[in-house]
């Protein structure tokens, strides 16, 4: 596999799957090195004059190069990760726009983060904030699960979530921690406050551990999704989609 990692996370990786690859090809900010593709896919892919090394291969050859057995759909693109976004700069340059950030507390599963990126994109969220440590770097699994949304959903890595939450408050954000044992539901929060019409930071914990106490205690509110007692919890990307729907329907 053509992945070459360094201590600076300056590595290359394969984006696989038609939607993810097509979005990456259209992204002018994405550095692209090599396209491998089946003959039938090459006849329908739109390169629009893009100059990129392209090799037509059998599906089995693509599987071998990408270490992927069956989900590449006959197309893969060797890329460099997108340039890192700076949260401070972003906040300073976008003060006049209503914004919704998704803040992930030690969610480590790349598949889940990719699905979160997709859900966030579906509801026009501003960006995703994750920890520099205890969260995966951009990778093939994440890109595939995001189904192309990784190319335009800003990702921000920070050293400390509690400090970041308090920084967002200085930029007039309300922060809501999703917590299964919270007293109020999202619906009750919507009915009894007007915060959903303001800047919002939605803080999500891992499915197993939930929010860490320090992170939860720095949120303005905690809220839960009202689900049947026979179900203990929802997948984090599903929970986010429900939360974003509740916020956007007001």
pLDDT tens digits along 89-127: 999 988 777 899 999 999 999 999 999 999 999 999 999
Tokens 């916020």 correspond to 247
φ, ψ (nearest 5 deg) of residue 55 = -125, 125
CA atoms of 101 and 24, how far apart (whole Å): 23
| Arithmetic mean of pLDDT, 217-245 | 85
pTM of the complete model: 0.90
Same-domain pairing of 106 and 22 = no
Candidates 161, 231, 241; CA nearest to 203 is 161
210 domain-assigned: yes
**Residue 2 predicted with pLDDT over 80:** no
Q: Does residue 215 or residue 10 have the better pLDDT?
A: 215
Same-domain pairing of 232 and 179 = yes
Same-domain pairing of 208 and 168 = yes
8 domain-assigned: no
Of 79, 113, 135, the residue that ends a domain is 79
Q: Give residue 202's pLDDT band: very low, low, confident or very high (50, 70, 90).
A: very high
pLDDT tens-digit readout, 143-196 = 999 999 999 999 999 999 999 999 999 999 999 999 988 899 998 998 899 899
pLDDT reported for residue 227? 76
CA atoms of 216 and 177, how far apart (whole Å): 6
Same-domain pairing of 71 and 177 = no
Same-domain pairing of 66 and 99 = no
Candidates 63, 84, 78, 72; CA nearest to 24 is 78
Q: Give residue 225's pLDDT band: very low, low, confident or very high (50, 70, 90).
A: confident
The total number of structural domains that make up the chain: 2
Same-domain pairing of 50 and 67 = yes
215 domain-assigned: yes
Q: Which domain holds residue 42?
A: 13-79
133 domain-assigned: yes
2 domain-assigned: no
Please state the three-class secondary structure of the chain as a single string: CCCCCCCCCCCCEEEECHHHHHHHHHCCCCCEEEEEECHHHHCCCCCCCCCCEEEECCHHHHHHHHCCCCCCCCEEEEECCCCCECHHHHHHCCCCCCCEEEEEECCCCHHHHHHHHHHHHHCCCCEEEEECCCCCCCCHHHHHHHCCHHHCCCEEEECCHHHHHHHHHHCCEEEEEECCCCCCEHHHHHHHCCHHHCEEEEEEEECCCECCHHHHHCCCEEEECCCCCCCCCCCHHHHHHHHHHHHHCC
99: domain CATH number is 3.40.1280.10
Same-domain pairing of 105 and 140 = yes
φ, ψ (nearest 5 deg) of residue 110 = -65, -35
Of 79, 106, 127, the residue that ends a domain is 79
Q: Give residue 212's pLDDT band: very low, low, confident or very high (50, 70, 90).
A: very high
**Residue 8 predicted with pLDDT over 70:** no
Same-domain pairing of 74 and 101 = no
Q: Give residue 231's pLDDT band: very low, low, confident or very high (50, 70, 90).
A: low
Same-domain pairing of 104 and 181 = yes
CA atoms of 35 and 78, how far apart (whole Å): 6
57 domain-assigned: yes
Same-domain pairing of 201 and 219 = yes
6 domain-assigned: no
pLDDT reported for residue 7? 41
pLDDT reported for residue 208? 75
67: domain CATH number is 3.30.1330
């Amino acid at each position: 596999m053509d992945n070459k990692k360094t201590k600076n996370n300056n590595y290359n990786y394969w984006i696989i799957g038609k939607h993810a690859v097509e979005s990456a090809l259209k992204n002018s900010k994405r550095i692209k090195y090599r396209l491998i593709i089946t003959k039938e896919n090459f006849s329908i892919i739109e390169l629009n004059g893009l100059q990129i090394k392209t090799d037509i291969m059998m599906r089995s050859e693509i599987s071998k190069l990408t270490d992927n057995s069956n989900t590449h759909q006959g197309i893969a693109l060797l890329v460099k990760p997108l340039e890192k976004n700076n949260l401070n700069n972003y906040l300073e340059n976008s003060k006049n726009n209503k914004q919704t950030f998704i803040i992930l507390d030690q969610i480590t599963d790349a598949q889940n983060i990719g699905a979160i990126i997709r859900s966030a994109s579906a509801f026009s969220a501003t960006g995703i904030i994750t920890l520099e440590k205890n969260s995966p770097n951009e990778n093939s699994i994440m890109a595939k699960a995001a189904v192309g949304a990784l190319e335009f959903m800003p990702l921000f890595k920070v050293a400390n979530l509690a400090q970041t939450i308090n920084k967002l408050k200085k930029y007039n954000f309300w922060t809501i921690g999703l917590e299964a044992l919270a007293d109020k539901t999202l619906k009750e929060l919507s009915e009894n406050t007007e915060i959903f019409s303001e800047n919002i930071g939605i803080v999500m914990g891992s499915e197993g551990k939930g929010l860490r106490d320090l992170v939860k205690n720095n949120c303005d509110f905690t809220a839960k999704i009202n689900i049947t007692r026979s179900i203990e919890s929802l997948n984090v990307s599903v929970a986010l989609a429900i939360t974003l729907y509740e916020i956007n329907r007001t």
